[in-house]
Amino acid sequence: MSSSKDIINGLKDGIPIALGYLSVSFSVGILALSSGLSVFQSAFMSLTNMTSAGQFAGISVIAAGGTILELILTQVIINLRYALMSLSLSQKLSENVTLWQRFVIAFANTDEIFAAAMSHGKSLTFPYMLGLQCLPILGWTAGTVLGGLAGELLPHAVSNALSVALYGMFIAVVVPAARKLRPVLWVAVIAAVLSCILYYVPAFSGISTGISIIICTVAASAIGAWLFPVDRED
């Protein structure tokens, strides 16, 4: 009974993420089709690669005729931040979560799903995580299919506007937690300031987006842990 309740709670928490993914991945399908990929290929990519930045970068490499090695390195650099998220998420998983279940959870540990899981008030069970991830996976894949089918019927400005939804999801996830907990607010502000420095200061122009995200994540988390230490009992 508890497992069914956890799945239902996970599905409820995953609905807004799935709706956001549906709109964002629409532009992925359009871009993939214009880059020479078929609807099936773009849908399969979305189903097996739950990362917006990784897909956009991967499609760009494919369209430019890049090598497999370039594609692999691009994905590793851009998606390396998920390793940090997985390490953090593993600390909140229930002791009953087995190794293979952790692999399943890691597959769809995206930014939004990670934030929703970390803000969950209880220990994370496998049924809850399964419910939380199912709808976003379907939403991301379905949006890609719809975008691919639409092709180039939509104006370029409209397809670009759809990608703004991704940033809206980030804001919707961070703001409620930041209003409740001052440490979360400060860590978010620190990360934003560091990101601006790495982006606008010419001395750091050679740092890629993926490495920049990792630097900001680690630095902001370390500063937050130093300024706002939490006792193990808490």
Q: How would DSSP label each residue in the chain?
A: -HHHHHHHHHHHHHHHHHHHHHHHHHHHHHHHHHTT--HHHHHHHHHH---HHHHHHHHHHHHTT--HHHHHHHHHHHHTHHHHHHHHHHTTB-TT--HHHHHHHHHT--HHHHHHHHT-SSPBPHHHHHHHHHHHHHHHHHHHHHHHHHTT-S-HHHHHHHTHHHHHHHHHHHHHHHHH-HHHHHHHHHHHHHHHHHHHSGGGTTS-HHHHHHHHHHHHHHHHHHHS---TT-
Q: pTM of the prediction?
A: 0.69
CA 65 to chain CA centroid, Å, is 26
- The full length of the chain comes to 234
pLDDT in tens, 44-96: 999 988 887 778 778 877 877 777 877 787 788 778 778 888 888 888 888 88
pLDDT values of the chain reduced to their tens digit, one per residue, 234 residues = 567 888 999 899 999 899 888 887 887 888 788 778 888 998 999 998 888 777 877 887 787 777 787 778 778 877 877 888 888 888 888 888 889 999 989 888 888 898 888 888 788 899 999 999 999 999 999 999 988 887 666 666 666 665 565 566 567 667 877 788 888 889 889 988 998 998 899 888 887 766 777 788 788 888 988 988 876 655
Residue spans of the domains in the chain: they are 2-166, 181-234
Q: How far apart, in whole angstroms, are the C-alpha atoms of residue 31 and residue 162?
A: 12
- 86-114 burial, b for 16+ CB within 10 Å, e for fewer? eeebeeebeeebeeebbeebeebbbbbbb
Residues near 181 by beta carbon (within 8 Å), at least 6 away in sequence: none
